[in-house]
Chain A
Amino acid sequence: MSVLDSKIPAGPLKDKWSNHKAHIGVVSPANKKKLDIIVVGTGLAGGSAAASLAELGYNVTAFCYQDSPRRAHSIAAQGGINAAKNYTNDNDSVFRLFYETIKGGDYRAREANVYRLAEVSNSIIDQCVAQGVPFAREYGGMLANRSFGGALVSRTFYARGQTGQQLLLGAYGALNRQINAGKVKMYNRHEVLDIVVIDGKARGVIARNLVTGQIERYGAHAVVLATGGYGNVFFLSTNAMGCNGSAAWQAYKRGAMFGNPCFVQIHPTCIPVHGDQQSKLTLMSESLRNDGRVWVPKKLEDAKALQAGTKTANDIPDEDRDFYLERRYPSFGNLVPRDVASRAAKERCDAGYGVNNTGKAVFLDFKYAIEQLGRETIEKRYGNLFQMYQKITDVDPYNYPMMIYPAIHYSMGGLWVDYNLMTTIPGLYAIGECNFSDHGANRLGASALMQGLADGYFILPYTIGDYLAKEIQTPKINTNAKEFDEAEKHVTDRLRKLYDIKGTKSPDHFHKELGHVMWEYIGMARDAEGLKKAIELIAGIKKDFYKDLRVTGEFNAMNNELEKAARVADFLELAELMAHDALDRNESCGGHLRTESMTEEGEAKRDDEHYRYVAVWEYKGENQAPEMHKEPLEFENVQLTQRSYK
């Protein structure tokens, strides 16, 4: 083997991270001042990394496509952040958090990375409290916890239903402090469209100034991608409209390999699609499953009546309600992991028991919790989520059960990184959702915030020093180098090519077409035949796209259509890779269900004998098949079992 060196430190699991830190290189304060780092993206991972690196003394240049770093999509995370504090005395520990995360990810993540994540989780809570993040408190003044899916303990810290917002604003505050100190140069409304590689090392980026349309060059001794996930390849997802995979995809084309692209998470509790004018889907936090009970009618005729609008939920008595999660999974009930809950909803709806006019929705009912705990308690726990639901649907969830359906939410796959979070391009790092590393085939709720902040506050600031310690002799990167010329020309040519097609259809048109194919064939259930068909269909859309795309507006000016066109062009290529990866993995694991690999009871069946690896894809050039490398996954500290939540 091979091109992949995961650099997992030797020694017992619990000592790996401390041993590693003790042996890696450190840059002296005097030398840090001479080193430049680019951070792309300012969400939880990028924002916390940029601030922490600047505090250490590095010169940081940060980019975001939004009009302010505070608007990165981490802001929309609702429910909470996990940590192994064991404040609730319910037998939590670093090991338990590690174990549940590995198990939740269906044994497709690295033990060493996940253990480290659990290990630093507690420091994150301390850090955020010190920043003034207003976490929920008990009456005695101590931090409050709630439960989340896939966990047997209550370890989720939260700030109402706006935990992501509050954590991001904490990181944004830290970032602002460094901007004020002159240690971070912040570029808002800039989109990074290529990575510049010189002598095999990442040395800069090419960015488009989204206000002027200018293509700009930036050099640095190391580049950090914190650009989030690629869920928008499905067009409809819970991601923000601007979320995209372009920087990561261009990094892939420059030599950074891509890990497990087919692993995307479908979140069970989103507001259902209302019609073909829909632009995005809204998540309803997993925390709602603490108190909401999921059900559909037991009788098909009741479902038909609900679909036709001749009956309402309140017409169906308790004994005719099928609380299918409680029925199928008595030990975890409504709090099974996301992939399990999503599939169970789809199974009921496919069988005809859906509860809205499209037949694609199930109930999430708070009637029972309100009866038990009172409306006030429920209002306090979920008030803002209920308000959000009511504004969108015009239905009051205090009086009528919510209707929910699964939607694309998160990408576990991403750029492959080693234990130091470095990609296969030396000097190029990927952190947060942008990398593949910690969640295996399924992410547990409240773990994305944990991973983003772990990477940005407590892991990258250490591991990047190991690389930069060898770069202290490297002078400032010259952005007039021929590699910058080439990369800038590459970006300009690519945009020009899209702009000059002068066809008849908007970027959104193709994006929606792609989304339909993705959802149909690379969505919640996949099979070889469908995946092969998807590859053909995507190739067809791509052909039409390059023939019939219309980009209106001016080339060298603010142009939202051109931005979208470039993102869709990358999504079309990424979609193909996802299909190939899904086709290769003929097992069901986590969010990836192959209908060929199921138990007789209809549960997902993992195949450890053949697929206990990370699929790592290498770009081989335009119109060439990518090459797959395998990083075998070793499990020394957990027993591999078929996941059961029964």
Chain B
Amino acid sequence: MDRYAPKARSDAYGRRINREHSPLVALALPWLSIMAGSLVPLFFIATALPLVPPAGFLMLLAWRLVRPGLLPVWAGLPLGLFDDLFSGQPLGSAVVLWSLTMIAIELLDSRIPWRSFLQDWIVATGAALAYLLAAFVVSGAPPTVPGLVALGPQALLSVLLYPAAARLASGLDRLRLTRWLSTS
């Protein structure tokens, strides 16, 4: 017997009957994608200016804002430690800054219950600018005015790249919840 509507038994995450999520993918994908983001700046040429946005931090923001409640509040500790291994900042700088960011967004979420993309973007902008500035201050080198000016392009790129990071996080979220395994 032919089926009338092949799509009737599936949704955005695949067929619903006889299939289930892979717990491994569902659990690990956000963490892995943020860690991959931490590695991204490594691959760029040794630029004269800090130009590449902090991709790991942007992915953390994207996951936290697109899917609140998925990452625990303490996620900044392990993820920041990993970022510190590669970022060139003194060890601990991402640990403390990412942890503080997670706490700050958590507090903000409890005060402002509404959700919209624009609001997320504003929050991400504030977080990214504060992060870049704080990272500049604790970078271990004496903070100078030219160094501060040199942060401008990177800050602009980071703010403009947040929507892309958010799209990436939501795309990965769909992948995360795809039903891979057959339960036969």
Chain A partners chain B: no
Q: Chain A residues in contact with chain B, CB under 8 A?
A: none
